[in-house]
Amino acid sequence: MISNLHTHTLFCDGENSPEELVLKAIELGLSELGFSGHSYTFFDESYCMSKENTKEYKKEIRRLKEKYKEKIKILLGVEQDYYCLEPTNDYDFVIGSVHYVKKDDIYIPIDESKEILINAVNRHYNGDFYALISDYYSLVSDVYNKTKCDIIGHFDLITKFNDNNDLFDENSEKYKNAVDNALEKLYKSPAVFEINTGGMARGYKTTPYPDIQIIEKIKNRKKKLIFSSDCHNKDQLLFGFESIKKLID
């Protein structure tokens, strides 16, 4: 079954309308397409669905679900940020993600830009990236408890700007211990992990979220993995799926 459940539209920070994405999915032969608009975060409205947009989003996805039901299965989902306060009970599925770390009453965006991340670490962590990493993975380890998600979104998003270990060493014991502690807690949840190619599609990374070594750890624990493109543009709906499949098979 060819599917993608991590898809963003014009209702949040995507580039295409939902219907444009449905038509592209049909063209590519997808059997299933899940929409996952960014949930409303009161402290940062720059990228997410507004409360009013959320209502329109739900209405539109349900319309498309009915319109194209003979051609493709469409699911209404949401990417629920850890700090979001909005309910999720009327979605078909939930992706639970950590996009921020709250420190000194400031919500630090993990994936906005390399400069913002460096400045935040210098200001709030005295330049210690591993202290930020510890806080980040502590939140990730709790993302199922907080969101009751079906899918754990981009597990190691903290590595977005670290493709060459520019900011911290992903082979260090400090980093690996933080990763392993989070994994151990998430293994106990029923949520599945996504192999997310979004960082690759947008030119930030040469490998998916999570890293190949982390994927192997998840596989060894017999936890389910699904592919997603974290799609923000219809031409990247299945970005990197085949190449990553070859790496992990």
The string of pLDDT tens digits covering residues 17-57 is 999 999 999 999 999 999 999 999 999 999 999 999 999 99
- For 136-186, the pLDDT digits (tens) are 999 999 999 999 999 999 999 999 999 999 999 999 999 999 999 999 999
Whether the per-residue pLDDT at 199 is higher than 80: the answer is: yes
Q: How confident is the model at residue 249 (pLDDT cuts 50, 70, 90)?
A: confident
Whether the per-residue pLDDT at 115 is higher than 80: the answer is: yes
- Residues 162-174 as b/e (b if ≥16 CB within 10 A, e otherwise) read bbeeebbebeeee
Residue 235: phi and psi, rounded to 5, are -75, -5
Residues 6+ apart with CB under 8 A from 43: 83, 100, 107
Whether the per-residue pLDDT at 1 is higher than 90: the answer is: no
Whether the per-residue pLDDT at 61 is higher than 90: the answer is: yes
Q: What is the pLDDT of residue 247?
A: 84
Category of 203 on φ-ψ map: left (φ > 0), alpha (ψ -120 to 50) or beta: left
Domains recognised in the chain with CATH numbers: 3-248 (3.20.20.140)
Q: How confident is the model at residue 213 (pLDDT cuts 50, 70, 90)?
A: very high
Q: What is the pLDDT of residue 248?
A: 85
* pTM (2 d.p.): 0.97
Tokens read off for 238: 């299945």
> Nearest to residue 152, comparing CAs of 201, 187, 200?
187
Q: At what angle do helices 18-28 and 51-67 cross, to 10 degrees?
A: 40
Mean pLDDT of 213-237: 97
According to the 3-state scheme, what is the secondary structure of the chain? CCEECCECCCCCCCCCCHHHHHHHHHHHCCCEEEEEEECCCCCCCCCCCCHHHHHHHHHHHHHHHHHCCCCCEEEEEEEEECCCCCCCCCCCEEEEECCEEEECCEEEECCCCHHHHHHHHHHHCCCCHHHHHHHHHHHHHCHHHHHCCCEECCCCHHHCCCCCCCCCCCCCHHHHHHHHHHHHHHHCCCCEEEEECHHHHCCCCCCCECCHHHHHHHHHCCCCEEEECCECCHHHCCCCHHHHHHHHC
Tokens read off for 28: 């590519």
